Amino acid sequence: MTRPTQVRIARSLLTLLLILSASLACSVQLGALPTPQAGSATSSVTFIAPAINSVLAENATILFAAKVQDSGAGVTQVEFLADDHVMGIQSTPGGQALAAYTFSQSWQAQGVRGHLISAIARRADDSVIGRADMTIQVVVSPVAGVPTIATGATPTLFIPADSTPPATTNPRQVLPTNTPAAGSVPAGGNPIFHVIVPTLNLRSGPGTDYPPVAVMKADEEATILGRNDDSTWWFVEREKMRGWVISNPAYSTVLGDVSKVPFVTTPSTPLPSATPVPNNNLAPTSTAAANADLVLDSYVLTPTEPIANQTFNIVITVRNQGTVDAPSSLLVGVFQPGSERSAMAVPPVPAGQSVVLPPMYVTLKLRAANQIGLLTLDANGEVDEGVNGEANNVRTVPYNVK
C-alpha cells in the first residue's frame, strides 16, 4: 500500500472517530439529568380556605388557612392581614423551620364591603418566602336573627404537610342570583329550599357525620338562613325548627336569590346523636306504672351568657327514667326576651338510658338581665308518660343577655 493511500485511510478513520465522539457527546448531553443549581429551592404560599370571593355576614367568625411550602430553609411564620392591617401572626410548632405547613387565623368580619386578605410567609431569618392574596365580601345579614357566629368549640383546621385539602363529595348547586322564581319568594325575602325527593334529612351540622334532627318530605319547603363555606349545605328553618340540608340539585330546588346568603360557622367536631347512659335512679316524680318518663337531666349554654344578635347554642341531655321505651318526640325551647322559639326532634330513648341531643341554636335580639328560657319535653304529647311523668317535662334556664 502506497504512503498516500495510507494517509487517506488514516484521515478517514480520524474523521469517523471525531463524528462518533460528537454524536456520543450529544447523546449524553440530551439524556443527562440537569445538575441542581444553588437557589433552585421551590416555594409557594396558597390560601386553601375559605373559597375565594366568599360572602360572609357581618360579625361572622371565619377561619383563614394558608399552606406554605419552602424546600430550602423552610417556613417558620405567616403574617395574616386584612386590608393591609395585621390580624394575626402564626408560627410553626416551637418555631421550627418546616418544608411545608398549614397556618390558620380566625377573623371576625367587620365592614360591609369587599376586603383583601393576605398571607405573608417568612423563614427563620425573616426573609420573605412569598405572599398570597384573596378577596371576600362582607354583607349585612339578610334577615334579623340569622346566626352569624356559632359558638362552642373553637374552629380549627390542620392539614398534614404532605396532603392536600380533601375534595368535597357534595356537588355545588349553581343557582341564578338575579332572577328569583316568579311568585315564589317575596321581594327582598329569603330564598326557599324545596324538597324534590321522598325524604331528606335535616341535620345538626353541615355534613353527613352530623346526626339528623328531623326529616323533610317531598314538596316541603324551608327558609334558607345561611350556608357553609363552600355552599354545599344550607342552614334552614322550617316551622321554627332549624338545621342543615345538603345542597344538591338531585334532591332539591332553591327558589330566590342566594347571592347574599351569609356564611354560618359550626363547631369543628360533630356531637353524637345519642350517648346511652344507664341510669336506674328514678326521680321522686316518676311512677311505678308501665310508662315512659322523660326528664331533662342537664343543659349547657355556650357561651354561658348569650350575646344579643349572636347565635348561641344549648346542648341538652334527656333521660328516660320510666320502665317503657319512649318513642321520638319534640323538644321546644322558648327564650326571653322576645319569646324566641326553637324546636328540635328527640330520638327514641330506651328505658333507663339517656341521650345527648345535637345543639339547639337560639338568637336573642335584645340585651337584658335575669332572663328565663323554658324547655318543654314532649311538646306535642306523643309519649305516654302518665300523670306524674307529664309533671316533670318543663325546665327553666336562667341567663343574662349581654
pLDDT at 89: 94
Q: Which CATH number fits domain 294-401: 3.40.309.10, 2.60.40.10, 3.40.50.300, 3.30.870.10?
A: 2.60.40.10
pLDDT at 27: 41
CATH superfamily of 141-157+172-270: SH3 Domains (2.30.30.40)
Chain segment 19-48, per-residue pLDDT in tens = 555 444 444 333 333 443 444 568 999 888
Task: Answer whether 43-139 and 294-401 agree in fold.
Answer: yes
Q: Which helix (H) or strand (E) holds 363?
A: strand 360-363
What's the pLDDT band for 163 if we cut at 50, 70, 90?
very low
Q: Which CATH class is domain 43-139?
A: mainly beta
The answer to whether 327 and 383 are in contact (CB under 8 A) is: yes
Q: Does 264 or 104 have the greater pLDDT score?
A: 104
Instruction: Tell me the average pLDDT across 343-367.
Output: 86
pLDDT at 21: 53
Separation between Cα atoms, residue 95 and residue 117, nearest integer Å: 24
Q: Does 218 or 145 have the greater pLDDT score?
A: 218
pLDDT at 204 over 90: no
Q: Where are the alpha helices (DSSP H) in 214-299?
A: none
What's the pLDDT band for 70 if we cut at 50, 70, 90?
very high
Name the grid cell of 361.
341554636
Q: Which helix (H) or strand (E) holds 274?
A: none
pLDDT at 375 over 80: yes
Chain segment 288-328, per-residue pLDDT in tens = 558 899 998 888 888 888 988 888 888 898 999 989 999 88
Domain ranges of the chain: 43-139, 141-157+172-270, 294-401
pLDDT at 391 over 50: yes
pLDDT at 74: 92
Range of weakest confidence among 26-35, 61-70, 75-84, 109-118: 26-35
Name the grid cell of 381.
304529647
pLDDT at 196 over 60: yes
Instruction: Name the range with the highest mean pLDDT among 235-244, 249-258, 286-295, 314-323.
Output: 314-323
pLDDT at 125 over 90: yes
Instruction: Tell me the average pLDDT across 247-266.
Output: 80
pLDDT at 12: 62
The answer to whether 90 and 102 are in contact (CB under 8 A) is: no
Instruction: Tell me the average pLDDT across 116-142.
Output: 86
Torsion angle in degrees (nearest 10) through CA of 21, 26, 32, 34: 130
pLDDT at 291: 87
Q: Does 284 or 58 have the greater pLDDT score?
A: 58
pLDDT at 182 over 50: no
Question: Percent of the chain at pLDDT above 70?
Answer: 70
Instruction: Name the range with the highest mean pLDDT among 13-17, 81-85, 259-263, 289-293.
Output: 81-85
Q: What is the DSSP string of 281-305?
A: ---TT--SSS---EEEEEEEEESSS
Question: Percent of the chain at pLDDT above 90?
Answer: 16
